[in-house]
Each structure stands twice: as C-alpha cells, then as structure tokens.
Amino acid sequence: MQDQSKEAINWAITAFLGYLAGMILMMILIGLLVILAVGITHIVVCILGALNASKGTRYRAPFAVRLLK
C-alpha cells in the first residue's frame, strides 16, 4: 500500500507541474489547452487508480515523474 501512496504523490506532483506550465503558457494563449489536457488526464488517471485500488491491484500512472521511489 505504501508504493501506491508514493505513486499518488508522484502523480499529484506531475499534475501540479502540468498546471504550472499551463499557467505560464497562458501568456501566449496556449495555456488554456494545456490546462484542459492536464485536467482531463488528471481525472482519468485518478479514476483508473481508484478502480485498481478497489480491486487490490497495483497501478502506475503512465506520465508520472518518479520523484519518490
């Protein structure tokens, strides 16, 4: 279970960095698309993680930056 909590934190950090990049890119008007893409991906990854957790299987987010190991 500890590995899944680390995976969730890694995904949260990755999503935060994506949102931050979108905020910075708002200056050139592409940031809204970046924030929308990160938001949709964030929802999908969270749902998949919750479904796998309810089954008792491991889930690794495909785009997560692995800062915690």
- pLDDT in the model for residue 39: 94
Q: What range does the domain containing 17 cover?
A: 2-55
CA 36 to chain centre: 13
Quickly state the pLDDT bin for 18 (edges 50, 70, 90): very high
pLDDT in tens, 23-68: 999 988 898 999 999 999 999 999 998 898 889 888 888 877 777 7
Stretch (H or E) spanning 45 = helix 31-55
Q: End-to-end distance of the chain based on CA atoms, in angstroms?
A: 13
Q: Is residue 20 part of a domain?
A: yes
- pLDDT in the model for residue 34: 93
* Distance from C-alpha of 17 to C-alpha of 28, rounded to nearest angstrom: 18
Q: Is residue 67 part of a domain?
A: no
Domain count of the chain? 1
Looking at 1-69, which runs of residues are DSSP E strands?
A: none
* Distance from C-alpha of 49 to C-alpha of 32, rounded to nearest angstrom: 26
